[in-house]
Structure 1
Amino acid sequence: MILTVNHVTTYDYDAPMGTAVQSLRLFPSRFDGQRTIDWSVAVEGGVKGGSFRDGAGDRVEGWSIRPPVEAVTITVTGQVETFDTSGVLRGHRELVHPMAYLRETVATWIDDALQELGESAIEGASDMLDRAHRLSAAVAEAIAYKPGVTHTHTTAAEALAQGEGVCQDHAHALVAAARAVDMPARYVSGYLFATEDGAPHEAAHAWAEIWVEGIGWIGFDPANECCPDERYIRLGSGLDAREAAPIRGITQGAGEERLDVTVALEQLQQ
């Protein structure tokens, strides 16, 4: 499948700000499940700085905008050919050891409920792959997909207690539940092509990857109750949403910020 992406993020300020610095993780991952045909990332009025590939194999690019900063607009356009690898992250080069992803963060802190969810989910599992599938199914059952009921800083424990959330909450909960039973897991950001089957989705999407010994990293999307396939474009990963965020930035000044995001995915060819 060939997917086109048009992703525009705009930060507006009610008063001119000082220098803005952006760290962008907005580039398709290199692995067997996708091939970048064309890709462009631009920051209006910005100056491109250094670019590097981090230990997790993700490309990161720095940008700065000189003052006065009244708005920051980041535009991503491109085409990616995707392939269904049943969620397996084959051919992806990285240096970070999987065991590093057993660490907890504020967003994935494991409370008693998450510990119980993880332990009960894997009861009777035949092997580690079966455990991973059961964990994803348990999170999908425990947290109903409902936009608008959580926010950026909602933790996995809070989403589970509430029983509702969006893809970020599902991903955080699955990461926490997997780590609760000593399975390395991480948060993944990317895009999801909108289908017509009525399944919940967000064009800018998030899911989780769980390390299964003998296979490697495997993606699981509890929000859609599946493993990532050719409808998904993978951008980057981290311990949680903050680490895997496609855009991270710092702006000097006391002005209030307003965020506007539009993401459109289209299929060009099957």
Structure 2
Amino acid sequence: MRICVAHETVYRYERPAKSVIQTLRLTPRSHDGQHVVRWRIDVDQDVRLSQSEDAFGNISHAFVAIGSIDSLTVRVEGEVETHDNAGVLHGVIERFPVSLYLRDTDLTRADASIQAFARRSVSEAGGGLAACHALMQAIHERVDVSRDPKRPASGLTEAFVAGSGVAQDASHLFIACARVLGIPARYVSGLLWQPQAQQGSASHAWAEAYVEGLGWVGFDPTLPVCPTVHHVRVAAGLDYLGAAPVRGAHYGGDGESLEVSVAISEKGDRPQAQHQSQN
């Protein structure tokens, strides 16, 4: 499947910022499940985009804008050809031993109730792949995931207790539970195209778990499915902070607001746009 993406992030400042620094993880890599046909990032300020790879092998861009900045726009446009590998990941750069992904982080630390939930969810599944599928299904049933792009993440414990959150929360819950069970797991940020769903095509998140005999396998507790041809994998890390699409800071620029627009379509179809505003 050929998926077309147009992604725009606009920052506005009530008082002009004197400088803005940004790190972008908005560029996918090719692997056995996807081929990046073309990809481009543009910034509407006079900046130099510096490309590198972060510790996890994600493609990263950074820039610094200096001057009186009222607004700043980052535009991404490209095409990715995806293939169905039943969620099994091959051909991805791996720089760390699998055991690293058993490490807790502040965003994925499971309390006693989540630890009990993890063990209860897989009690009849055994281990390995079956346990991961059982966990994915249990989280899907436990957490009502909102696809509203304007809703912020709730946090691991808050989403678990409330039974509601966003894809980021469900992914963190899967990772936390998997690590409790001794299964290495990591966070994935990407894009999802769902032609039949309202508010269904936009930035997305899911998890990957290491299954003996298969390697890394994706699990999307939001849907719940293993990633399909509708998923575009962009970046991965121990949690959201390691794979965040955009992170940065600014000097000056009081009253910052952020608006994100994502349009995704299969090549030849009309793009579906999602908008997000944040003050």
Check the 8 A contact 2:147/2:200 in 1, yes or no: no
Note the C-alpha offset of 1:49: 4.0
- SS of the equivalent of 2:86 reads coil
Contact 2:8/2:75 (8 A) holds in 1: yes
- The 3 A distance-change label for structure 1 pair 206 and 65 is same
**Residue 224 of structure 2 corresponds to which residue in structure 1?**
225
Report the Cα offset of residue 55 of structure 1: 3.2
Residues 150/65 of structure 1: CA separation in 2 closer, same or farther (3 Å cut): closer
Query: 1:30, CA displacement in angstroms?
Result: 2.4
- Residue 27 of structure 1 aligns with which residue? 27
Q: Deviations over 1:11-35 (max 9, x none)?
A: 1111011211111111112211110
Q: Distance in 1 between matches of 2:109 and 2:151?
A: 17
Q: Work out the CA distance in 2 between the residues paired with 1:178 and 1:15.
A: 45
- 1:61 and 2:87 are equivalent in the alignment: no
The farther-off stretch of 209-218 and 141-150 is: 141-150
- Aligned partner of 1:109 in structure 2 is 109
Q: In 1, Cα distance between the equivalents of 2:150 and 2:156?
A: 11
CA distance in 2, matches of 1:234, 1:126: 29
Q: Which moved more, 1:257-266 or 1:103-112?
A: 103-112
Between the two proteins, the alignment pairs up a number of residues equal to 269
Letter of the structure 2 residue corresponding to residue 96 of structure 1: F
Counterpart position of 2:250:
251
Is the CA contact (8 Å cut-off) linking 1:145 and 1:200 kept in structure 2? no
Partner of 1:252, secondary structure, is strand
Partner of 1:96: 96
1:81/1:243 CA distance change after superposition, 3 Å: same
Aligned residue type for 2:3? L
Question: What CA deviation, in whole Å up to 9, does each residue of 1:158-186 have, x standing for no partner?
Answer: 10100011111111111111111111111
Q: What 5-or-longer segments of structure 2 have no aligned partner?
A: 270-279
RMSD of aligned residue pairs (Cα, Å): 2.0
Aligned pair in 2 of structure 1 residues 16, 254: CA closer, same or farther (>3 Å)?
closer
Give the gaps of 5 or more residues in structure 1: none
Structure 1 residues 72-102: Cα deviation after superposition (integer angstroms, max 9, x where no partner):
1110000110001111111112212221111
* Aligned counterparts of 2:246 and 2:149: Cα–Cα separation in 1: 23
The answer to whether 1:171 aligns with 2:166 is: no
Secondary structure of 1:22's partner? Answer: strand
Q: Which string of whole-angstrom CA distances, capped at 9 and with x for unpartnered residues, describes residues 215-267 of structure 1? A: 11111111111011100111001121122101111111150111101101110
Normalising to structure 2: TM-score of the pair? 0.91
Aligned to 2:160: 160
Give TM-score scaled by structure 1 length: 0.94
**Percent identity (aligned):** 36
